[in-house]
Amino acid sequence: MRTAKETWDACKGALQVQVSKSNFETWLKDTEGICCQGKRFVVGTPSTFAKEWLEKRLRSLVVKVLMGITGQELDVQFQVRPGQVSTHQGQDSTPRQLASSTAGSRYTFSNFVVGDSNRLAYAASLGVAEEPGRHYNPLFIHGGSGLGKTHLAQAIGSEASDNGFQVVCVSSEQFTNEFITSIREKKTEEFRGKFRNTDVLIIEDIQFMVGKPQTQETLFHTFNALHDTSRQLVLTGDRHPKAMTAIEPSLSSRLSCGLVAQVQPPDRQMRLALLRARAEEQRMLIDEAVFEFIAQRCVETANVRELEGALSTVVAHASLLNQRPTLEMAEQALLGMPVADARPATFTPTSILKAVADHFQIAPESLKGRKRDRRLTLARQIVIYLVREKTNCPLQDIGKLLGGRDHSTVLRSYHKIATMVNTDTTVRGKVNHIATALRA
């Protein structure tokens, strides 16, 4: 008989491959199985805010996954874990000041697997953590989702903090929220104090500052204040700062004036190394054939998170059956995972327009028209998102493609979908489906 904790851990393993990376990290990672009484399965959350979010957004998926794992129909109840501070939304956005090595200790240099795809970023991060402000300032790490940017950023934070430096680490959203709150509450001095009196400032996912000129301006001044006094800046983003077209040129040139290092998708050898390291870390005995299979199953473009998710799924499967993971079991466990797809995609603005129209079963011309209803609007926004993500088409031309929409509408739509892809499973499903159709 498995404990509630074990059942929930298996459930988390399965959920990790089903929700977006940021949702998993934000809402699920720190939850815990507390007990199962009759048909009621209780899950502990770290905050009221997380509890409410999970209840509202993830309940039905969780029920489904739990049922798959336990074979029983259970009712899920989320509850704030005893001993946790209840937080509300506003407080959640306080930047985390890393005070001790325990902060973010899941992400260290020692458990970071180094290969051709990330060697430069790793070496630079190590240098920065040892001597902040000396070598590469700013250090800008960019690359696709799940490729280790946060891991490196957090490792820099913990290591620098262990070396006695003061570290402030925030996401772009937190930075923006803090900034807005400081204006509203007339506490701009405090804001400046917090971000300018630190040895190391880490700001993650800079792409979310796109379209926020005031936040960008504030970052610009913060940047100058720190840089001028040789304090270290570390930034991460989904692409090269120069490729962030909607970031002020004066800011993007500063962001790229130090070292810009890219993390790339792991090649096969690196995927194997990652899987072995993860299994070893968790003291799991797994056949080499299983690693080979998972590494094969996760395409070149797959990120490390997906790789880990696939491994967790196999392990959860094995633990349910009380057996060691075998190749057969791995095949069974990953049956539902999308198959490696090596066919080249044909992403051109017109092919995307057509694929979206097909998906929504509407005429491509209607996407160029003025008529607006929910379906048409969503379809247009997805066209914009995909064209911007998959092609080099400039914003103006995307506007033209859709019958002459202006640059700011295009940008707004892009950000809307970029956010929804992370928060809304229906939209993510549609976007993935269309991208897959484009490979056919």
- CB neighbourhood size of 263 (10 A): 24
Q: Which of 17, 113, 259, 316 binds ligand ADP (CB under 6 A)?
A: 113
- Burial class of 3 by CB neighbour count within 10 A (0 to 12, 13 to 18, 19+): exposed
| Residue 113's binding partner out of ligand ADP, Mg ion, none, with CB under 5 to 8 Å set by partner kind | ligand ADP
| 207: contact with Mg ion by CB under 5 A | no
Question: Helices H, strands E: what count in the chain?
Answer: 21, 9
- CB neighbourhood size of 326 (10 A): 17
CB of 143 to ligand ADP, least distance (A): 6
Segment interacting with Mg ion, rule: CB under 5 A, options 111-119, 145-153, 170-178, 395-403? 145-153
| Residue 319's binding partner out of ligand ADP, Mg ion, none, with CB under 5 to 8 Å set by partner kind | none
Binding residue count for Mg ion, defined by CB under 5 A? 2
Q: How far, in Å, CA of 155 to CA of 136, rounded?
A: 16
Q: How far, in Å, CA of 324 to CA of 126, rounded?
A: 37
Q: Which of 112, 179, 208, 385 binds ligand ADP (CB under 6 A)?
A: 112
CB of 52 to ligand ADP, least distance (A): 24
CB of 196 to ligand ADP, least distance (A): 25
Per DSSP, the residues of 162-192 read HTT--EEEEEHHHHHHHHHHHHHTT-HHHHH
Select the residue whose beta carbon is closest to ligand ADP and give its number: 148
Q: How far, in Å, CA of 291 to CA of 295, rounded?
A: 6
| Residue 23's binding partner out of ligand ADP, Mg ion, none, with CB under 5 to 8 Å set by partner kind | none
| Residue 58's binding partner out of Mg ion, ligand ADP, none, with CB under 5 to 8 Å set by partner kind | none
| 208: contact with ligand ADP by CB under 6 A | no
Binding residue count for ligand ADP, defined by CB under 6 A? 17
Segment interacting with Mg ion, rule: CB under 5 A, options 37-45, 107-115, 146-154, 328-336? 146-154
- Which of the residues 18 through 57 are near ligand ADP (CB under 6 A)? 21
401-405, long-range: CB < 8 A, 24+ apart: 401/349, 401/350, 401/353, 401/368, 402/353, 402/367, 402/368, 403/367, 403/368, 403/369, 403/370, 405/380
| 62: contact with ligand ADP by CB under 6 A | no
| 145: contact with ligand ADP by CB under 6 A | yes
CB of 144 to Mg ion, least distance (A): 10
Per DSSP, the residues of 374-406 read HHHHHHHHHHHHHHHHHS---HHHHHHHTTS--
Q: How far, in Å, CA of 243 to CA of 265, rounded?
A: 19
| 353: contact with ligand ADP by CB under 6 A | no
DSSP label of 18: T
Q: Name the pairing type of β-strands 40-45 and 32-37.
A: antiparallel
Nearer to Mg ion, 124 or 387 (CB): 124
- CB neighbourhood size of 334 (10 A): 21
Cβ-Cβ contacts under 8 Å for 106 (sequence gap 6 or more): 154
| 154: contact with Mg ion by CB under 5 A | no
Nearer to Mg ion, 5 or 106 (CB): 106
| Residue 304's binding partner out of ligand ADP, Mg ion, none, with CB under 5 to 8 Å set by partner kind | ligand ADP
| Residue 146's binding partner out of Mg ion, ligand ADP, none, with CB under 5 to 8 Å set by partner kind | ligand ADP
| 150: contact with Mg ion by CB under 5 A | yes
| 262: contact with ligand ADP by CB under 6 A | no
| 264: contact with ligand ADP by CB under 6 A | no
| 304: contact with ligand ADP by CB under 6 A | yes
Nearer to Mg ion, 150 or 161 (CB): 150
Say how many residues make up the chain.
Answer: 440
CB of 8 to ligand ADP, least distance (A): 18
* Preceding peptide of 138 cis, ω within 30°: yes
The letter for the amino acid at 182 is S
Residues that bind ligand ADP (CB under 6 A): 21, 107, 111-113, 118, 145-151, 274, 304-305, 308
Q: Which residues bind Mg ion (CB under 5 A)?
A: 149-150
